[in-house]
Structure 1
Amino acid sequence: MSAGLITIIGGSGFIGRHLVGRLASRGYRVRIAVRDTEKAAQLMTQGNVGQVVGMQTNIRNQASVERAVAGADIVINLVGLLFESGSQKFNAVHVEGAKRVAEAAKAAGARQLIHMSALGADEKSESNYARTKAEGEKAVSEAFEGATILRPSVVFGAGDDFTNKFARLTACLPALPLANGGRALMQPVWIEDLADAIVKIIETPEQQGKIFEFGGPEQVSLRAIIESILTETRRCCPILSVPAGLMKVQALFLSLLPGTPMLTIDQVRLLEEDNVISGTAAGFADLGIAPTAMGSVIPSYVRRFRRGGGLKELHG
C-alpha cells in the first residue's frame, strides 16, 4: 500500500464521493476535510480501517485549513458554491478560500495541488460564480506554483444535482420555463470520467501543473438534455421559452424562498452563455480517456422518476 496521504477539501460532495473510493483502492490514505463530518463518515468504509478518515474543516478558517493539509503529499480542493447563503459567499469560498488552501498546501510541503474550477471561468463574466472562479484560479496559481487547474463543464451522474433536478421538476410541474428556450450549449461530463481523469493526473507527473478543460463528446443544449430526460421518464412537461430578463425576475422571487433556491439570478446569467471547451487547453484526450456520452448513462438512474418509480412495468 502507498503511504501517500491525499487531503480532499470538500471531499464529501458529488465529485468527492466518486473519487475517494478510487484513491483508496489504489493504496492512498485519504483525509476528507469537510464542514460536516457525518457526511465524511459515510465514505470511510471505502477503504481499509483507518485508511479513509474525516476531519472537520471550514475553508474560511485558516487554522482548520492548516490542520487539514498538514502532512499531506497531495491536496485536492473540490469546494465550490452554486449559490450564496449566509456567510457562504462566492468571493469568500472561490477566491479567498481557494487562496487559503493553496498557501497552506505550499507551506505544508505538499508536492501537488489540484484545484477544481469550472468551464466558463472568466474574470469579465457578468456571473458572480464564473468571475470568482476565474479570480480563484489566479489566486491559486500565484500561491502554489505548478498547481493543476480543472475546468469541467456541468457534471452528471447518479446522485448529481443537475439531471436529477430537472427530472424532479418535470415530474411535478405542468410546464418548465427556460431562459431563451434553453438553447445555450454545454458539454456534460460523466462523473466517472472526471474521477478517472483526476487519478490519471495524480499519477502522471508530465500532466501536472496544467489547465485542463473537460467536456463530454457532444455539445448539446439544455433543452435537448431535458427533452431526453422526458423521453426516458415518459413524462409530458412542455418547455416554455421565456426571455432571460423575465427569468431573472422570477429567480429573484424564488431565491427569497426558504431552503435551497430553485433558481437564482446568477444561475440565469450562466445559462445564457454556452459552456463548451475552448480547445486551447489540455483535456481528456491528453489523459487517454474517451469521454462518455450522456445518452448511454442517464437512463440507468432517471427512470426512477417514471410514474410508479419506474417499477410499474414489473408489476403488470
Structure 2
Amino acid sequence: MRVLVTGAYGFIGAHIVAALIAADHKVVCAVRGARVDSRFAGMDAVACDMASDVHAEDWLPRLVGVDAVVNCAGILRERGAESFIAVHELAPLALFHASHQAGIRRVIQISALGNAADGEFVASKHRGDKALAALDLDWLVLRPSLVYSARGSYGGSSLLRGLAALPGFLPLPGQGEQQVQPIAAEDVGAAVVAALMRPTCTGEVIELVGPEVLTLRDYLLSWRRWMGFGSALLVPIPAPLVRATAALGERLGNGPLGLTMTSMLERGNVGAAHATMRLRECLGLTPRSLQRALDEGPSQVQDRWHARLYFLLPALRVLIALLWIGSGVVGWLTSPASLAAWAPGDVLPAGSLLVLARVTGTLDLLLGVLCLMRWRPRLVLTLMLLMLLGYTLGIGSMWPVHWLDPPGGLLKNLPLIAALAVLLATDERR
C-alpha cells in the first residue's frame, strides 16, 4: 500500500514509518517544507503545515495515488501559529475530509491516552478523534500510553531517562507511586501495520498499552539499571514543589516539562482493564513488557551520554548566556582609564578602545539574552563562537601579554570555544 504519514519525522511517527517500510509499504512523508529526512532518504515527501492546512483543498493534491492515511502529527504545547485546535483538530479534519473526497477509506489516527481534564493537549486530541468518528470512513483511533524505545528517545521519554540517570539520587514526585502502562514505540509501529492488514478492524478506539502497569518509581529504576548506573537515593519531591516546577517549565521552557505531563502522571496513564485483550483480538498484537524490550536492546555508551547530558546541556547554555551578559555589562561599565591600563602601548587610540568596548559589550548583551531565550539557537551560538574566536585572535595578537595573565587570561577562552562547539553539536532537538 502507498501510505501518507503526517508527523513522519517525530519520535512516534519515525517508528511507524520504519515499521511500514519493513512491511514493504510505500510511504509518503507529509512534513513541513517537503524536507527529506536523511534517515529516510529513499522516501517520498510532500510539503504540509499542520498549523495552516485547514482546508480539504490543501490536502487533495497530496493524496494522489495514496491508499491509506496515518495521522501522527501532534504538539505537546502551543507555539506561535501551532495551536492545539489547528494541529489536533482543524488540519487533521481537513485531511480526513480530503481522504473521503479522494476515495481513501482507511484512515488511522494516532491520538493520546488520557483524560480531557489533564489539559488541552489530550482534550484537543480527543475532539479530533470524535470528529473523525463522525465521518464515513474506515477509521481507527489508536491511543498510546507512555511511549518509549531502547533505541532512542525524545521529549518526555528523554526527560524520564535524564531523571533516571542523575548521579547518586533519583527525584520522585511524591513517592513515585504514579501509574503508567508503557508501550514500546516499535510495538506502536507494529500496531499500525497490523491495522492496515486488518481492514475489518474499524470504527474502534483502541488503547495502545503495554502488558503491565508500573509505578513511575519502578519505571525509572528499570531505565537506571538498563543504563548501567548504580543504586540511587530515592528523594521524594512534595507535590506543591512538583506543580510549581511544572508551572515554571510551562511558562519558561519549550520541552516536555509542563502542566500537561504532570497532570497525566498524577492521574495515572493506564488503559482500561480489557485494553491488552482488545489489542490481541482486534490487531493480533501482544506488546512486549518493558523489561523484555530493554533486554532486546542493551544500552550503549551513547545512551548514557545522552541521559547524563539531558540536564547538563541546558545548564551549560544558561551559564554561557550569563557569562555573555556579564561580559556585556563590563564592556559598558569599563572606564577609559581602565582600558588604557588593560591595553598598553599605542596599538589603538584610547577613543577607539572605548568605542570598541561599548560595541562589543552591546553585542555580548544581545547574544546573551537571545541565548537565554533560545531564539534561533544555532545562529546565536555560531555568532557567539565567532565573537569568541575574534576576541581570542584579536587580543592575543595585539596584546599577547594577556596570554600570560595570572588567572589564565585568554587561555580560558579555549575551553569556552570547546563548550560552544559542544552546544552547537548537540542542539538538534530530535
When normalised by structure 2's length, the TM-score is 0.63
CA distance 1:284–1:103, shift in 2 (3 Å):
same
C-alpha displacement at 1:219, in angstroms?
0.4
The alpha-carbon deviation at position 225 of structure 1 amounts to 0.7
Shift of 1:25: 4.3
Q: CA-atom RMSD, angstroms?
A: 2.7
Aligned partners of 2:304, 2:244: CA distance in 1, in Å? Answer: 31
Residue 198 of structure 1 corresponds to 192
Shift of 1:176: 4.6
The equivalent position to 1:58 in structure 2, one of 37, 49, 56, is 49
Deviation, 1:206, is 1.6
The answer as to 2:161 corresponding to 1:188 is: no
Counting only pairs closer than 5 Å after superposition, residues 85-164 of structure 1 correspond to structure 2 as: 85-120=79-114, 122-123=115-116, 125-157=117-149, 158-161=151-154, 162-164=156-158
Partner of 1:231: 225
Letter in 2 for 1:128: E
Between structures 1 and 2, the one with greater helix share: 2
Kindly, what percent of the aligned residue pairs are identical? 27
- Supply the distance in 2 between the matched residues of 1:262 and 1:200 (Cα, whole angstroms): 30
State how far apart, in whole Å, the 2-side matches of 1:137 and 1:160 are.
26
Cross-structure match for 2:201: 207
Q: CA 1:109 to 1:137, structure 2 compared with 1: closer, same or farther past 3 Å?
A: same
The 1-side partners of 2:286 and 2:307 are apart by: 32
Distance 1:230 1:141 in 2: 41
Confirm whether residue 253 of structure 1 aligns to residue 248 of structure 2: yes
SS at match of 1:42: helix
| CA gap 1:193/1:238 in 2 versus in 1, 3 angstroms | same
- 1:165 correspondence with 2:159: yes
Alignment of 1:280-291 (within 5 A): 283-286=278-281, 287-291=283-287
Deviation per residue, 1:60-105 (Å, 9 max, x gap): 3135433333442101101112222222222221222222221121
Of 247, 269, 273, 2:267 maps to 273
Q: Structure 1's 240 and 130: CA in aligned 2 closer, same or farther, altered over 3 A?
A: farther
1:274 & 1:103 partners in 2: Cα distance? 34
Gaps in structure 1 of 5+ consecutive residues: 46-51, 311-316
Q: State which of 269, 291, 295 in structure 2 corresponds to 1:295.
A: 291
CA distance in structure 2 between the partners assigned to 1:72 and 1:42 by the alignment: 22
Quick one: which amino acid aligns to residue 54 of structure 1?
A
Between the aligned partners of 1:246 and 1:99, the Cα distance in structure 2 is 39
Q: Which amino acid aligns with 2:216?
A: L
CA–CA separation in structure 1 for the residues paired with 2:121 and 2:83 = 10
Structure 1 residues 239-248 or 198-207, which shifts more?
Answer: 239-248
Q: Which has the higher contact order (CA 8 A, sep 6+)?
A: 1
Gaps of 5+ in 2: 309-430
The structure-2 alpha-carbon separation of the partners of 1:307 and 1:266, relative to structure 1 and needing over 3 Å to count, comes to closer
Cα drift, residue 264 of structure 1: 0.7
Go from structure 1 to structure 2 and tell me whether the alpha carbon gap of 1:126 and 1:152 turns closer, same or farther (over 3 Å shift).
Answer: closer
User: Which structure has the bigger radius of gyration?
Assistant: 2
Deviations 1:166-205 (A, max 9, x none): 2234435665544333312111111222211211110112
Partner deviation per Cα, 1:14-40 (whole Å, 9 max, x = no partner): 223223243334443211001154453
Aligned to 1:49: none
Are residues 261 and 147 of structure 1, via their aligned partners in 2, closer, same or farther at CA, if it must alter by over 3 Å? same
Off by >4 Å, runs of 4+ in structure 1: 172-176, 305-310
Q: For 2:108, what is the secondary structure of its paired residue?
A: strand
User: In 2 relative to 1, CA 295–58 (structure 1 residues): closer, same or farther, beyond 3 Å?
Assistant: same
Structure-1-length-normalised TM-score: 0.83
Q: 1:20 & 1:147 partners in 2: Cα distance?
A: 19
The answer on whether the counterparts of 1:170 and 1:237 sit within 8 Å (CA) in structure 2 is no
| 1:144-174 Cα deviation digits (max 9, x unpaired) | 4431110111111122224443223443566
In the comparison of the two structures, how many residue pairs are matched? 298
What amino acid is the match of 1:146? D
Deviation of the 1:41 alpha carbon: 4.5
